[in-house]
Amino acid sequence: MIRVLVAEDSATARALLVSLLTAEPDMVVVGEAHTGLEAVEMAERLQPDLVTMDIQMPHLDGIEATRRIMTQSPRPILIVSSTAGHDVEQSLEAMRSGALMVIAKPGGAGTPTHDIDRRQLTTMVRALAQVKVVRRHGSFAQGIMPARATSALAGAEAARRLRGDTTPELVAIAASTGGPAALQAILSTLPARFPVPIFIVQHIARGFTAGLAHWLSGDAAVRVKLAELGEPARPGTVYIAPDDRHLGVRRDASGGLRVQLDNAIPVGTFRPSATYMFRSCAEHVGRGLIAVILTGMGDDGVEGLRSVKQSGGRILAQDEASSVIYGMPREAQRAGIVDQVLGITEMARCIRELAG
């Protein structure tokens, strides 16, 4: 049985969350916190398997409550947030304090998205309740089990082994659960004059992508923005797939790369889809592509990576120790198409070395 603590100051929203969770046969709500201070106290006293955390709460907001829980009584925290205004960036900021993922507050029984919201909430609770978190000290670190000890030169060595005679033209990165923190760890290390563009598909709840781009840009020297149809793909710029659009690439008449957005049917259940992005990049970039698959549930991206492999691109996968959910990278490894498995710090170094 998964034991959940619900922290939410709105009585209506709290009642809805409790009803959705307790309707599941494998979940029980062990406590309801009305304030951030209550959430911290109840997390330590009740020892739940997971905490759902609101951002806007009296006495102590969700960011500080998350920080204190991860310092005093660490456990998986799922931010359940409004997608209105400042709440989006504050929700993402909570990941810097140790939260694992953010989803939108579910709609009530009469709303069109109610069933989707219910499935998203319960699926995420099941997945994150299994994550082994650690006590946090300092401002930013992955709130997961520490990665294995590796040489400081491991990323550079991996790049040396993978470096071929083709100059990289594009980096394409896919991530899902746990992805925002992993992306931040990579992008924050890249120089402003990073020599190629970067495309990103991040599975995240609708309404959070613009905030994600702005949040990631706060620690990055490279430019981070939502992708726009037809714009040139420029070096030193990160293009994030917007809500409900596939992200791809095409060549213009001069041979340059341009952003392609598509509202074609979802691949599997995903739009944007990592498989769509990888296939498009493999077709138009080929050997000049560096494809990266990071932490996340499921197997989106794996079929697209087969195309990358066939076209001669290089494929990097995040390792289990540094992944919040070792789903997407594991499935890529099982398919036998990954060139190098790396921890997130090594990954950042390898991407810099390969591209540079």
Q: Is 38 exposed, middle or buried (0-12, 13-18, 19+ CB in 10 A)?
A: buried
Q: Are 311 and 283 in contact (CB under 8 A)?
A: yes
In angstroms, the CA 131 to CA 2 distance is 12
Q: Is 203 a catalytic residue?
A: yes
90-to-38, 53, 109, 210 alpha-carbon distances in Å: 20, 12, 27, 13
Closest of 242, 253, 164, 167 to residue 202, by C-alpha: 242
Terminal alpha carbon distance of the chain: 49
Catalytic residue, from 34, 61, 87, 203: name it.
Answer: 203
- The DSSP H or E segment spanning 200 is strand 198-202
What are the residue ranges of helices labelled H in the chain? 11-22, 36-46, 62-72, 87-96, 114-128, 154-162, 179-187, 209-217, 274-285, 302-311, 328-334, 344-355
Catalytic residue, from 49, 87, 299, 300: name it.
Answer: 300
Who contacts 154 (Cβ-Cβ below 8 Å, separation ≥6)? 342, 343, 346, 349
HEC sequence for 75-141: CCEEEEECCCCCHHHHHHHHHHCCCCEEEECCCCCCCCCHHHHHHHHHHHHHHHCCCCCCCCCCCCC
Q: Are 245 and 263 in contact (CB under 8 A)?
A: yes
The two three-digit tokens of residue 54, written as one number: 């609101």
Q: Is 243 a catalytic residue?
A: no
In angstroms, the CA 312 to CA 335 distance is 16
Q: Are 225 and 237 in contact (CB under 8 A)?
A: yes
Q: Is 300 a catalytic residue?
A: yes
Q: Is the peptide bond before 272 cis (omega within 30 degrees of 0)?
A: yes
Catalytic residue, from 176, 273, 307, 322: name it.
Answer: 176
In angstroms, the CA 260 to CA 177 distance is 25
Q: Which residues are catalytic?
A: 176, 203, 300
